[in-house]
Amino acid sequence: MTKRRTPFTVFFALIFLAAAAASGSAHQFPAGAEKLAKSEECSGCHAAIYTEWTASMHANSSPFKDNAHNAVRLKFAASLKQMGKTPSYHCANCHTPMADNIADLMSGKAQPDSDNWTHTEGTGCSFCHRIESIVPGKEFNQYVLNKDGSFYSSNPSGKAPHKTAKSALFSSGEVCMGCHSHMRNSKGAPICVMDEEGASNCLTCHMPEAEGSPAAGSEKKTHFSHALPGGHDIDMLRKAVSLDMSVDTSAKPLKVAVTLKNISAHTFPSTMPMRLAFLKLTAEDSSGRVVWTNIKESPMEDMQSVLVKMFKAGEEKGVAPWKAEAVAMDTRLKKGEERKLSYTVPSDNIKTVSVSLIYRLFAPPAMKMMGIPADGKNDKVYMVIKKKVDL
């Protein structure tokens, strides 16, 4: 993992200098451009990469494969209808970028169709590898794809049986920033702002080298992993934060100090605003009975332990992203942030104090508001880190 990877900040500077509005309402293909290939066509020769991609959220981002995304887009459509507007699917820009009628999906002239493979594919191989440049936009960015169908990489081997070309966008995370840079709603509220919250090379953490050749017949023994893990992956979550706890037993009541440090390169949780993380502390007596806890039912009982972002419209807090006028609160751990929390544990007879960092893809109130199915995946409770001190 030592080759490639140029600094990233230059790119952000460029984007903001350019500050141009996104043109049109969809990714741009030059006139006469090659059609996008189905990812399955790459599977025969790029088996390891194809298998990783198939299980990734990039292959599963469409409304037909991600039921959480589908629930939210239906709520969004219903809300547009209520306001007398045409239900549109601008989500297509990032969730079904390969759609052959993407402009119509984004304007509401067409709806997602499960029988059209370009609507079910998500972000496929040929989409990413044909990215030629990024068009900066106010609400979100877009891409320009190449005309001749060459597959870009930072350092082509020259051994592929198909057209390849060299692109500097692929030597860092720049190539990701058509979709992952930012999303502001029509009122300008910052729904996701990765461009402001993190700024280092995404590939070093998200596409590490993995065992196995990148292609049948290649001389290389490793390839860059296309599993692209994030919040759905417990191993990745464990790389996001460090957690320490100490208990001052000379104090009565006990004083418990917890230190959280963000060791990822961006906000934690990042960046999707429905994510939630919180600390649950318990104190147990010698028989293992819990005699004290900071949270009985909802993490909101102890706001210092909660890492979350929430929007507001007027006086109303916790509104849907598309209604948001501003951020109501953002207690997530910033890039590089170290946060010290202290708790007073008002009880004698304590034998152990435990702390857990718990993560949820969707905060329960958000699941309810959006109608996100509790299917064991969306409502999974991730035990990220647990620490215990015996007194």
Using CB under 6 A as the binding rule, the residues of this chain from 156 to 215 that contact ligand HEC are 156-157, 159-162, 164, 170-171, 173, 175-176, 178-180, 183, 194, 198, 200-207, 214-215
For residues 365 and 308, what is the distance between their CA atoms, to the nearest angstrom?
12
CB 375, min distance to ligand HEC, A: 11
Quick check: 240 binds ligand HEC (CB under 6 A)? yes
**Where are the extended beta strands (E) located within 249-351?**
254-262, 276-284, 290-293, 306-307, 309-313, 316-317, 326-330, 338-345
For residues 9 and 185, what is the distance between their CA atoms, to the nearest angstrom?
24
The residues that bridge with 317 in the sheet, in sequence order, are 312
For residues 210 and 190, what is the distance between their CA atoms, to the nearest angstrom?
35
Q: Which is nearer to ligand HEC, 194 or 254 (CB)?
A: 194
CB 167, min distance to ligand HEC, A: 8
Dihedrals phi, psi of 350, to nearest 5 degrees: -90, 130
253: nearest Cα among 341, 356, 342: 342
CB 238, min distance to ligand HEC, A: 8
Alpha helix stretches (DSSP H) within the chain: 9-18, 40-43, 47-55, 67-82, 92-95, 102-107, 117-120, 125-129, 194-197, 202-206, 234-237, 364-370
Quick check: 366 binds ligand HEC (CB under 6 A)? no
Q: Which stretch binds ligand HEC (CB under 6 A): 79-87, 154-162, 246-254, 297-305?
A: 154-162
Q: Which stretch binds ligand HEC (CB under 6 A): 33-41, 287-295, 323-331, 334-342?
A: 33-41
Q: What are the structure tokens assigned to 243, written together?
A: 């957690």
Quick check: 256 binds ligand HEC (CB under 6 A)? no
CB 277, min distance to ligand HEC, A: 8
User: Using CB atoms within 10 A of its CB, is residue 18 exposed (0-12), middle (13-18) or buried (19+)?
Assistant: exposed
Residue holding tokens 């903001």?
Answer: 16
Quick check: 230 binds ligand HEC (CB under 6 A)? yes
Residue ranges in 54-93 that form contacts with ligand HEC under rule CB under 6 A: 57-58, 61, 66, 68-69, 72-73, 76, 90-91, 93
For residues 5 and 2, what is the distance between their CA atoms, to the nearest angstrom?
8
Q: Which is nearer to ligand HEC, 353 or 366 (CB)?
A: 366
**Residue from 35, 85, 138, 239 binding ligand HEC (CB under 6 A):** 239
- Strand, helix or coil for residue 300: helix
Q: Which is nearer to ligand HEC, 118 or 201 (CB)?
A: 201
Quick check: 295 binds ligand HEC (CB under 6 A)? no
**Residue from 237, 256, 260, 307 binding ligand HEC (CB under 6 A):** 237
Residue holding tokens 């820009």?
Answer: 93
> How many CA atoms lie within 13 Å of 379's alpha carbon, on the beta-carbon side?
12
Quick check: 269 binds ligand HEC (CB under 6 A)? yes
CB 96, min distance to ligand HEC, A: 9
**Residue from 120, 150, 270, 294 binding ligand HEC (CB under 6 A):** 270
> How many CA atoms lie within 13 Å of 315's alpha carbon, on the beta-carbon side?
0
Q: Which is nearer to ligand HEC, 311 or 343 (CB)?
A: 311
Q: Which is nearer to ligand HEC, 240 or 310 (CB)?
A: 240
- Strand, helix or coil for residue 383: strand
Tallying the residues shown for the chain, one arrives at 391
Tell me which amino acid residue 363 is.
Answer: A
**Residue from 11, 15, 22, 46 binding ligand HEC (CB under 6 A):** 46
Q: Do 274 and 363 form a contact (C-beta atoms < 8 A)?
A: yes
Residue 110-139 contact track with ligand HEC, rule CB under 6 A, x = bound: -------------x-xxxxx----------
Q: Which is nearer to ligand HEC, 41 or 285 (CB)?
A: 41
Number of chain residues interacting with ligand HEC (CB under 6 A): 91
Q: Which is nearer to ligand HEC, 102 or 350 (CB)?
A: 102
Quick check: 11 binds ligand HEC (CB under 6 A)? no
Q: Which is nearer to ligand HEC, 32 or 217 (CB)?
A: 217
Q: Do 242 and 261 form a contact (C-beta atoms < 8 A)?
A: yes
